[in-house]
């Protein structure tokens, strides 16, 4: 089957979008220039553009996809032919994105990601109709796949009545999606401030200034205007007020557009995320691919009582354009709601276990550990003695400030560190200014490392590092926990064989 | 409470092998630094280059001294142990580490032998897992081959869900 004909238009649009700077430079800003680079550059660009369009049209005729025996068969490439087969069972998550381009035409795009390592491992449908997208998503649903094989097996056996009885139940149970989270207006306001997204206006403004510089009046005139403004305190106040208002408005707007329409829902086997106001996207991940969970709280988020919940999954955390990480459930969840969400979506994770705190001696270890960053920075500062803000003494102040920050960071880390293991689960909080919670199941840990420096040995504490399957592997560690606990955890990990099932 | 030492140790010839190979590397490094000094003199490079070269030479001399002490300490710190379910390795002089790897997560095992190792009849074993790679340096040839066979055998089983 061929792809949707509009994919040609989409690819041309993308080509133009990606080379927008070159186009502006060649045909607008330097349109008068007779410098050879620009002169020939214009012809070269037009040539490349025409070739590209021809290529895309030819490619559309050649590139095909089809599905047979529960697998996609894909043909790619004009000069170098590339055929691949992707079984539905390899598909780990589904992302559906509707950008402004798609919205305009009432179409959408679809990506199936697989767990294979390598570059070209996802199946993209750049443009397709909404109906086709629904159909394809429905087609690859792993839940359904098992269902079908199950049905096939059952029909072989004599007992048909049983099947009829069982099937509809299973079907509805599997595919039923319950909404578990919708952001509230209040949370979005908090989110706009914690994300500091209003600061995002600064680079945009600077970019814009640079961009319009050639069109601005002469520098002298601007200077005159500046003098005028500086002389009136009134005017300055108004301008600052306006600037703050614009920045905040911009930040709030950005957050609302990004996270305003957001819905997390779950079925028995999958987690779904629908989000976006301008660029809509849909994301689905199979629950059994989840290797662990992370919760992150930056300093600002802690003040507002928010946290970000992230999934550690064995699927590729392929970051699509737009920058919102697909492995993040929602970056601004109120903390108790975050716990509740995890409980409902992933009931096998139990977060109500009482966590232990570090003993006093761990704080001592943390404070006594030499900070290489501080030592190197101080040596450099002593040697160069830079003048900062015309202060000759600045070097020792900076060094002291850095030391203070490092100490605060370490004390906070001591306060935040809490840990516990239960029957088949390990959970801990740690971190200084930004603190993080990590929880995983014993069977999902693929490697354990225990370590002890001389200093730690003296105080009888150790560090533990775990590794989870992900791409790249997810490494997590907790430092300065009492050695008896580390040994207990070592024994605990040896019992891992109880949790896993082996293929014979 | 203490961590226990694991069952097996490296080949007793490991310190010698390491010392020889380290010395070769150090000699090459020293030659490079001397060459740079000559260049500095010949092309009359600026003074700051002199300080960088001094730093390099002090650093490599300290490295040479360390390379005489390190092999024995490392040999004493290294140990490993394995059974049907787990491979454990342990090493480290200043910072001691214990690593536990489930057999089911081992993906490839290979033996490596350089010319110096050949002279001492030893091989090192490289173990690749889903997330990392570890090398057990210098085991006696028969032990290394046996270990490779055993690991390959035990790692054959894979978990459901992969």
Tens digits of per-residue pLDDT, B5-41? 888 999 999 999 999 999 999 999 989 988 998 998 8
Distance in angstroms (rounded) separating the CA atoms of residues A14 and A27: 18
pLDDT of residue A163: 37
- Look at strands A445-453 and A461-468 and give their pairing: antiparallel
- Beta-carbon separation of B159 and A503 below 8 A: yes
Q: Which of A443, A446, A497 sits opposite B130 (nearest CB)?
A: A446
All residues of chain B having their beta carbon less than 8 Å from the beta carbon of residue A472 are 131
Helix (H) or strand (E) holding A178, with range, is strand A178-181
Q: Is the pLDDT of residue A464 over 90?
A: yes
Task: Indicate whether A227 and A340 sit together in one domain.
Answer: no
Distance in angstroms (rounded) separating the CA atoms of residues A80 and A55: 13
The complex's ipTM works out to 0.87
All residues of chain A having their beta carbon less than 8 Å from the beta carbon of residue B92 are 451
CA nearest neighbour of A72 among A123, A131, A32, A129? A123
Q: Is the pLDDT of residue A357 over 50?
A: yes
Task: Indicate whether A227 and A298 sit together in one domain.
Answer: no
Task: Indicate whether A98 and A194 sit together in one domain.
Answer: no
Contacts of A118 (CB under 8 A, 6+ apart): none
For residue A464, say if its preceding peptide bond is cis, omega within 30 degrees of 0. Answer: no
Residue position matching structure tokens 């649903």? A141
- Beta-carbon separation of B94 and A454 below 8 A: yes
All residues of chain A having their beta carbon less than 8 Å from the beta carbon of residue B159 are 443, 500-503
Task: Indicate whether A41 and A113 sit together in one domain.
Answer: yes
User: Is B81-154 CATH 3.30.70?
Assistant: no
- Tokens representing residue A6 in the block: 């509009």
Give the whole-number percent of chain A exceeding pLDDT 70: 83
| CB-facing half-sphere around the CA of A407: CA atoms within 13 A | 8
Under 8 Å CB pairs connecting chains A and B tally to 84
Mutation choice for B interface testing from A269, A426, A448 by most B CBs within 10 A = A448
A484 located within any domain: yes
A200 located within any domain: yes
Q: Is the pLDDT of residue A167 over 60?
A: no
Sheet with B95-102, strands from edge to edge, namely A474-482, A461-468, A445-453, B95-102, B86-91, B79-82
Dihedral pair phi/psi, residue A150, rounded to 5°? -65, -45
Q: Is the pLDDT of residue A166 over 50?
A: no
Q: Is the pLDDT of residue A144 over 80?
A: no
- Beta-carbon separation of A452 and B96 below 8 A: yes
- Beta-carbon separation of B101 and A490 below 8 A: no
Query: CB–CB of B127/B135 below 8 Å?
Result: yes
A504 located within any domain: no
CB atoms within 10 A of CB A412: 16
All residues of chain A having their beta carbon less than 8 Å from the beta carbon of residue B87 are none
Task: Indicate whether A264 and A168 sit together in one domain.
Answer: no
The CATH number linked to A481 is: 2.30.29
Name the packing angle between helices A36-62 and A6-18 (round to 10°): 160
Query: CB–CB of B144/B111 below 8 Å?
Result: yes
CA nearest neighbour of A467 among A433, A436, A440? A440
Number of domains within chain A:
5
A350 located within any domain: no
| CB-facing half-sphere around the CA of A357: CA atoms within 13 A | 9
User: Which of A238, A258, A278 corresponds to the end of one domain?
Assistant: A258
Q: Is the pLDDT of residue A146 over 50?
A: no
Task: Indicate whether A151 and A276 sit together in one domain.
Answer: no
pLDDT of residue A413: 94
- Give me the sign of the Cα torsion angle B62, B67, B73, B77: positive
- Beta-carbon separation of B160 and A490 below 8 A: no
pLDDT of residue B41: 87
Query: CB–CB of B82/B106 below 8 Å?
Result: no
- Beta-carbon separation of A473 and B130 below 8 A: yes
Task: Indicate whether A246 and A318 sit together in one domain.
Answer: no
Distance in angstroms (rounded) separating the CA atoms of residues B99 and B108: 17
A485 touches B: beta carbon within 8 Å: no
User: Which of A239, A258, A277 corresponds to the end of one domain?
Assistant: A258
Contacts of A82 (CB under 8 A, 6+ apart): A75, A76, A120
Torsion of the alpha carbons at A336, A341, A342 and A346, rounded to the nearest 10: 160
Helix (H) or strand (E) holding B26, with range, is helix B14-42
Tens digits of per-residue pLDDT, A301-346? 888 888 889 888 876 555 444 444 567 888 888 888 888 888 888 8
Residue position matching structure tokens 């030479």? B57
Contacts of A448 (CB under 8 A, 6+ apart): A464, A465, A466, A467, A489, A490, A493, B99, B100
Q: What is the Cα A243 distance to its own chain's centre?
A: 31
A49 located within any domain: yes
Q: Which of A494, A497, A503 sits opposite B158 (nearest CB)?
A: A503
Tally the residues of chain B: 162
CA nearest neighbour of B10 among B70, B72, B73, B75? B75
- Tokens representing residue A22 in the block: 């070159």
Task: Indicate whether A453 and A393 sit together in one domain.
Answer: yes
Lowest mean pLDDT among A39-53, A180-194, B5-19, B49-63: A180-194
Distance in angstroms (rounded) separating the CA atoms of residues A368 and B35: 42
Q: Where are the beta strands (DSSP E) in chain B?
A: 79-82, 86-91, 95-102, 106-112, 122-129, 133-140, 158-159
Domain that holds residue A202: 190-258
Query: CB–CB of A425/A355 below 8 Å?
Result: no
Mutation choice for A interface testing from B51, B77, B94, B96 by most A CBs within 10 A = B96
Minimum distance, in Å, between the CA of residue B120 and any CA atom of chain A:
31
Which pLDDT band holds residue A100 (cuts at 50, 70, 90)?
Answer: confident
Q: Which of A449, A475, A484 sits opposite B1 (nearest CB)?
A: A484
Task: Indicate whether A424 and A488 sit together in one domain.
Answer: yes
The answer for A 380-409 residues in CB contact with B (under 8 A) is: none
For chain A, what is the mean pLDDT? 81
- Beta-carbon separation of B161 and A288 below 8 A: yes
Distance in angstroms (rounded) separating the CA atoms of residues A123 and A73: 10
- Taking every pair of C-alpha atoms in chain B, what is the biggest distance, in angstroms? 67
Query: CB–CB of A483/A460 below 8 Å?
Result: yes
Task: Indicate whether A482 and A449 sit together in one domain.
Answer: yes
CA–CA–CA angle B134, B137, B141 (5° rounding): 120
A351 located within any domain: no
Task: Indicate whether A216 and A88 sit together in one domain.
Answer: no
User: Tens place of pLDDT for every residue, chain B, 162 residues?
Assistant: 678 888 899 999 999 999 999 999 999 998 998 899 899 888 888 888 888 888 888 988 999 999 999 999 999 999 999 998 899 999 999 999 999 999 988 888 999 998 999 999 999 999 998 878 999 998 999 999 999 999 988 888 777 665
pLDDT of residue A272: 86
Task: Indicate whether A252 and A274 sit together in one domain.
Answer: no
pLDDT of residue A259: 82
Which pLDDT band holds residue A504 (cuts at 50, 70, 90)?
Answer: low
- Beta-carbon separation of B129 and A448 below 8 A: no
């Amino acid at each position: 089957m061929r792809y949707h004909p509009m994919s040609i238009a989409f690819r041309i649009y993308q080509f133009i979008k990606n080379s927008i700077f070159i186009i502006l430079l060649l045909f607008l800003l330097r349109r008068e220039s007779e410098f050879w680079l620009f002169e020939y550059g214009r012809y070269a660009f037009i040539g490349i553009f025409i070739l590209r369009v021809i290529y895309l049209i030819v490619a559309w005729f050649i590139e095909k996809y089809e599905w047979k025996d529960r697998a996609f068969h894909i043909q790619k490439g004009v000069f170098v032919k590339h055929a691949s087969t992707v079984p539905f069972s390899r598909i780990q998550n589904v992302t559906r994105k509707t950008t402004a381009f798609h919205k305009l035409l009432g179409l959408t795009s679809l990506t199936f990601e697989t767990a294979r390592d390598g570059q070209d491992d996802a199946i993209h449908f750049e443009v397709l109709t909404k109906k086709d997208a629904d159909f394809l998503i429905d087609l690859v649903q792993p839940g359904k796949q098992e269902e079908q094989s199950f049905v096939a097996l059952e029909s072989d056996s004599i007992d048909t009545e049983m099947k009829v009885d069982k099937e509809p139940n299973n079907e509805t149970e599997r595919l039923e999606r319950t909404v578990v989270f919708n952001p509230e207006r209040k949370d979005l306001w908090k989110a706009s401030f914690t994300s500091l997204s209003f600061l995002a206006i600064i680079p945009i403004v600077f970019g814009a200034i640079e961009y319009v510089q050639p069109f601005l009046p002469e520098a002298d005139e601007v200077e005159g205007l500046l003098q005028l403004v500086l002389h009136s305190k009134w005017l300055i106040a108004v301008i600052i007020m306006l600037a703050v208002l614009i920045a905040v408005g911009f930040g709030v707007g950005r957050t609302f557009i990004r996270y305003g329409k957001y819905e997390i829902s779950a079925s028995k086997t999958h987690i779904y995320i629908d989000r976006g106001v301008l660029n809509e996207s849909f994301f689905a991940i199979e629950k059994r691919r989840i290797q662990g969970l992370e919760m992150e709280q930056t300093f600002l988020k802690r003040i507002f009582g928010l946290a970000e919940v992230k999934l550690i999954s064995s699927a590729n955390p392929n970051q699509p354009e737009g920058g919102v990480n697909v492995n993040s459930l929602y970056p601004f969840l109120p903390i108790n709601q975050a716990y509740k969400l995890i409980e409902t979506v992933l009931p096998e994770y139990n977060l109500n276990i009482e966590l232990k705190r570090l003993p006093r001696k761990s704080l001592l270890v943390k404070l006594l550990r030499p900070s290489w960053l501080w030592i190197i920075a101080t040596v450099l500062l002593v040697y160069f003695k830079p003048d900062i803000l015309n202060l000759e003494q600045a070097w020792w102040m900076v060094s002291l400030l850095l030391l203070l920050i490092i100490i605060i960071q370490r004390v906070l880390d001591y306060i935040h560190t809490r840990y516990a293991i239960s029957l088949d689960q390990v959970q801990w909080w740690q971190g200084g200014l930004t603190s993080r919670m990590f929880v995983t199941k014993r069977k999902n840990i693929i490697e354990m490392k225990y370590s002890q420096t001389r200093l730690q040995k003296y105080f009888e504490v150790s560090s533990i590092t775990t590794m989870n399957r992900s791409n790249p592997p997810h490494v997590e560690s907790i430092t300065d926990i009492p050695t008896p606990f580390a040994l207990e955890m070592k024994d605990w990990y040896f019992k891992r064989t109880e949790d896993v099932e082996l293929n014979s | 409470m203490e961590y226990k030492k694991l069952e097996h140790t490296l080949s007793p010839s490991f310190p010698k092998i390491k010392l020889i190979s380290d010395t070769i590397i150090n000699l090459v490094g020293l030659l490079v630094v001397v060459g740079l000094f000559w260049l500095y003199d010949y092309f009359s490079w600026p003074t700051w280059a002199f300080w960088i070269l001094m730093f390099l030479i002090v650093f490599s001399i300290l490295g040479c001294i360390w390379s005489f002490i390190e092999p024995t300490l490392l040999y004493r710190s290294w140990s490993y142990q394995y059974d049907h379910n787990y491979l454990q390795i342990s090493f480290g002089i200043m910072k001691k580490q214990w690593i536990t790897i489930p057999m089911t997560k081992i993906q490839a095992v290979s033996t490596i032998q350089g010319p110096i190792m050949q002279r001492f009849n030893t091989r090192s074993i490289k173990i690749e897992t889903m997330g990392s790679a570890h090398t057990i340096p210098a085991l006696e040839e028969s032990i290394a081959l046996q270990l490779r066979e055993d690991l390959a055998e035990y790692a054959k089983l894979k978990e459901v869900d992969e």
